[in-house]
Amino acid sequence: MGFLKNPSLISSRILKLSFFLIVFIVNNSFGAFGAKTRHFKWEVEYMHWAPDCKEGVVMGINGQFPGPTIQARAGDTIHLELTNHLHTEGVVIHWHGIRQIDTPWADGTASISQCPINPGESFVYRFKVDKAGTYFYHGHYGMQRSAGLYGSLIVDVEEGKKEPFHYDGEFNLLLSDLWHKSAHEQEVDLSSKPMRWIGEPQVYFYFNLPHAFL
């Protein structure tokens, strides 16, 4: 215990420890300044829609098809409460391209990292979007993406930062295809033995989605 007889040595070690602690906190907080938690409340349900003038049943979110566009900034946290209003099937949402660091339960892979959300029940997705980019989300249970359960997730750069390139304007296109045959019938055809090919989609279409800079 000889080092206790040298107060200057103790002070030096405490000073170094404090310095490294401050550096650690700053490094882990950098980029989080100005970050926000963005709250959403979604209800998933089937609805009648005619995207190509032929009415059919699609899967929508809050009465919208395709689903609402989520906008955030890098470093933000998404807090989304999803309620399943489907009558007879579970639902999950996969956030395509989001790394889900420390939040694997929010990845939305049914029966792997998350149990399906049962009819009438709710689940809160809470995760951080750490990298700027244009992503999309979609249903990851059965044929729900084919039924219309998808939308855009747009992550702008952090507050105070600029894009590494210049452009005059921006718009976002969400490309999709559409079968007149229901998603349930497609699922039965594809899983039957012998398999029944569902054919090419009857419609290819795109949605021009507005992008309001945050």
At 211, is the pLDDT very low, low, confident or very high (cuts 50, 70, 90)? low
What percentage of the chain reaches a pLDDT higher than 90? 29
Provide the sign of the torsion angle of the four alpha carbons 12, 13, 14, 16, taken in this order: positive
Q: Is the pLDDT of residue 43 over 90?
A: yes
In 3-state terms the chain splits into helix, strand, coil percentages (rounded to 5) of 20, 35, 45
Q: Is the pLDDT of residue 122 over 90?
A: yes
Q: What does residue 11 show for φ and ψ, rounded to 5 degrees?
A: -60, -40
Per residue in 176-186, pLDDT tens?
888 877 777 77
At 194, the amino acid letter reads: P
**What is residue 138's predicted lDDT score, i.e. its pLDDT?**
92
Per residue in 25-41, pLDDT tens?
434 444 455 788 999 99
Ordered structural domains, the chain, with CATH: 37-160+171-176 (2.60.40.420)
Provide the sign of the torsion angle of the four alpha carbons 92, 96, 98, 100, taken in this order: positive
- Kindly list the distances between the CA atom of residue 172 and the CA atoms of 127, 136, 185, 189, in Å, as whole numbers in the listed order: 23, 11, 31, 34
Per residue in 71-91, pLDDT tens?
999 999 999 999 999 999 999
**What is residue 126's predicted lDDT score, i.e. its pLDDT?**
94
More confident residue, 177 or 152: 152
Global pTM value: 0.75
**Do residues 118 and 34 touch, judged by C-beta distance below 8 A?**
no
**What is residue 28's predicted lDDT score, i.e. its pLDDT?**
44
Alpha-carbon radius of gyration of the chain? 24
Mean pLDDT, all residues of the chain: 80
CA proximity to 185, closest of 194, 193, 201, 196: 196
